[in-house]
């Protein structure tokens, strides 16, 4: 039985290159960034609706060092990883000024206060939608309106998990009211505020951060990494990977 290939194009950018692009982003226009990892790639293969969200992203950054290594071994393809957690930390520590308008969607009020204090942010705006908000049109609308009310913002960090964050990002684009760069960053704020710990550097470099995370929180992550995740080995041959041109994105 043959399968139609599923194409996906990824920006071949490392962290410092993307951070430099983000620092120059024009806040009078809107664009959004997605950060695919193994779990997202499986969803991308299974779900045409999710693929459509990715199609509208300005940047598609490879979040997974493991996937980067796997592509090199199986395809001979060099795609540099650009982890969303590293991007988020660099933006907060090196790019965002104290008076920039920055929107954080997700995370707790205490995490937002911690970020504001650590980075001396006067313009941090925080909104945490209720659990399961993606199934409630009114809750989605409230979230979108909050973001749009802060526009133009420099950055909007969407930290509500996949695919909720990608849906919000695409809806903001479709409505055409928001201005600024939105980034789908998953658990990055948890790492930045110490709620979750990142793997040691050697494990990150070896593409083993997933192993560290599942060992620390098996009840929550074992199914994702040990049951769902191995599907990538069978699915990888059904993808065609391409490189996006950064200057053409967005």
DSSP conformational letter for 226: I
Q: Choose between 182 and 222: higher pLDDT.
A: 182
In this prediction, what percent of the chain has a pLDDT beyond 90? Answer: 74
Environment class of 219 (CB within 10 Å of its CB; exposed 0-12, middle 13-18, buried 19+): exposed
CA distances from 114 to 110, 130, 192 (A): 6, 21, 10
Q: Choose between 37 and 199: higher pLDDT.
A: 37
Q: What is the pLDDT of residues 136-173, one digit of tens each?
A: 999 999 999 999 999 999 999 999 999 999 999 999 99
DSSP conformational letter for 61: B
- pLDDT at position 3: 61
- pLDDT at position 239: 92
Query: Strand 124-127's sheet: what is its strand order?
Result: 59-60, 30-34, 180-184, 155-158, 102-105, 124-127
Q: What is the pLDDT of residues 171-213, one digit of tens each?
A: 999 999 999 999 999 989 999 998 888 878 888 887 788 777 8
Residue 249 has pLDDT above 80, yes or no: no
CA distances from 107 to 113, 122, 178, 196 (A): 10, 18, 21, 12
- pLDDT at position 245: 64
């Amino acid at each position: 039985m043959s399968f139609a290939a599923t194409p996906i194009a990824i920006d071949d950018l490392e962290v410092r290159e993307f951070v430099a692009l983000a620092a120059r982003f024009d806040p009078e226009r809107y664009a959004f960034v997605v950060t695919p990892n193994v779990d997202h790639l499986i969803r991308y293969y299974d779900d045409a609706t999710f693929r459509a969200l990715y199609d509208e992203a300005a940047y598609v950054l490879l979040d997974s060092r493991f996937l980067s290594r796997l592509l090199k071994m199986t395809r001979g393809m060099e795609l540099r990883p650009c982890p969303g957690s590293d991007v988020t930390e660099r933006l907060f520590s090196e790019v965002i000024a104290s008076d920039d308008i920055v929107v954080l969607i997700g995370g707790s009020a205490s995490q937002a206060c911690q970020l504001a204090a650590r980075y001396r942010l006067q313009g941090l705006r925080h909104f945490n939608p209720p659990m399961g908000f993606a199934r409630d049109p009114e809750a989605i609308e409230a979230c979108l309106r909050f973001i749009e009310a802060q526009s133009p913002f420099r950055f909007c960090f969407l930290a509500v998990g996949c695919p909720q964050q990608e849906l919000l990002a695409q809806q903001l684009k479709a409505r055409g009211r928001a201005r600024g760069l939105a980034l789908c960053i998953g658990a990055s704020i948890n790492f930045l505020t110490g709620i979750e710990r990142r793997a040691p550097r050697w494990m990150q470099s070896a593409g083993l951060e997933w192993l560290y995370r599942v060992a620390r929180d098996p009840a929550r992550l074992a199914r994702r990494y040990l049951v769902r995740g191995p599907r990538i080995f069978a699915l990888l041959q059904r993808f065609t990977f391409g490189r996006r041109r950064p200057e053409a994105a967005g």
